[in-house]
């Protein structure tokens, strides 16, 4: 057994901090293997690897053919939030793009532009998240968890660098990172030309750990959009 390992590796430091415990020592490791049992163990490992590879192959090759097609989601909406700053409210518009798998889980991004009354500031938010749906017929409750990068800047900064606020370019931009949760519902109301039109109503909470602006935002979103079902997964 010892001849399997170079001399310097033989006396290795284990994860419990007890130095000089031989990792390959049958007395301590409990992995006592004879030549025959070592061979059977290798065979066992090979079988496991082969099984895992076969399973992966089945998932990769067959799953797209049998899975339900996904949907492209496009929504626009308006949002109004209150913040943890006293007397601070923000409002604006948002666009949401997503891809939903089997009507249950979607990966999506939401971009918004809002105006806040304290400091006359603009808020440009970019979120990336995962949304889970309960795929009921009339109303689909949803829960979204997301990460957010938000720019907050005064109107002075926006005016000095017109258009820069969309890309975070400007003299007074505060770059903030945080996370949030959205609880809502998607209500389909029209099916036309392959599109499923929906109304959205959501409650949203956002948390930022930095002191560059309000710590919390809480509010609501209403919107309208459509889902386009793809004939097969891309």
Partner 1 sequence: MRARALLFVALVGSALAASCGWEEMADYPCPPQGTTLTYENFGQQFFATWCVTCHGGPNGYSSRSFTDVTNIRAQAADIFRNAARDNTTMPPGPNDPPKDQRYDLGEWLACGAP
- List of residues contacting partner 1 (CB under 8 A): 76, 85-88, 93, 113, 115, 118-122, 152, 154-159, 171-172, 174, 210-214
Question: Smallest distance from the beta carbon of 104 to partner 1, in angstroms?
Answer: 30
- Rounded to whole angstroms, the Cα distance separating 119 from 113 reads 16
Give the nearer residue to partner 1 in terms of CB position, either 140 or 153. Answer: 153
Give the nearer residue to partner 1 in terms of CB position, either 91 or 220. Answer: 91
Question: Smallest distance from the beta carbon of 111 to partner 1, in angstroms?
Answer: 12
Give the nearer residue to partner 1 in terms of CB position, either 55 or 76. Answer: 76
Give the nearer residue to partner 1 in terms of CB position, either 6 or 211. Answer: 211
Question: Smallest distance from the beta carbon of 149 to partner 1, in angstroms?
Answer: 15
Question: Smallest distance from the beta carbon of 159 to partner 1, in angstroms?
Answer: 6
Question: Smallest distance from the beta carbon of 174 to partner 1, in angstroms?
Answer: 7
* Cα R_g (the chain), whole angstroms: 27
Question: Smallest distance from the beta carbon of 186 to partner 1, in angstroms?
Answer: 21
Q: Give the angle subtended at the CA of 107 by the CAs of 101 and 112, to the nearest 5°.
A: 140
Give the nearer residue to partner 1 in terms of CB position, either 66 or 86. Answer: 86
DSSP code per residue over the chain: -GGGS-HHHHS---TTS-TT--TT-HHHH-----HHHHHHHHHHHHHHHHHHHHHHHHHHHHHHHHSPP-EEEEEEEEEEEEESSTT-EEEEEEEEEEEEETTTEEEEEEEEEEEETGGGEEEEEEEEEEEEE---SS-EEEEEEEEEEEEEEEHHHHHHSTTGGGTT-STT-EEEEEEEEEEEEEEEEEEETTEEEEEEEEEEEEE--SSSS-SEEEEEEEEEEEEEE-SS--
Give the nearer residue to partner 1 in terms of CB position, either 88 or 196. Answer: 88
């Amino acid at each position: 057994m010892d001849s399997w390992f170079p001399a310097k590796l033989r006396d290795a430091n284990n994860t419990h901090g007890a130095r000089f415990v031989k990792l390959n020592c049958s007395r301590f490791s409990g992995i006592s293997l004879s030549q025959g049992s070592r061979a059977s163990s290798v065979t066992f490992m090979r079988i496991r690897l082969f099984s895992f590879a076969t399973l992966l192959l089945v998932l990769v090759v067959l799953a797209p053919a049998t899975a339900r097609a996904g949907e492209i989601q496009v929504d626009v909406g308006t949002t109004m939030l209150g913040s943890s700053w006293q007397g601070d409210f923000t409002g604006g518009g948002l666009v949401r793009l997503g891809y939903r798998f089997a009507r249950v889980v979607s990966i999506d991004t939401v971009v918004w532009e809002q105006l806040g009354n304290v400091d006359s500031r603009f808020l440009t938010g970019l979120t990336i998240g995962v949304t889970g749906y309960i795929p009921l017929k009339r109303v689909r409750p949803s829960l979204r968890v997301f990460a957010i990068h938000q720019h907050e800047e005064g109107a002075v900064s926006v005016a000095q660098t017109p258009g820069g606020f969309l890309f975070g370019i400007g003299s007074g931009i505060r770059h903030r990172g945080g996370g949030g949760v959205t609880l809502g519902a998607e209500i389909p109301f029209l099916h036309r030309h392959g599109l499923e039109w929906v109304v959205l109503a959501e409650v949203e909470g956002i948390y930022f750990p930095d002191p560059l602006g309000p710590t919390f935002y809480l509010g609501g979103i209403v919107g309208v959009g459509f889902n386009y079902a793809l004939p097969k997964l891309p």
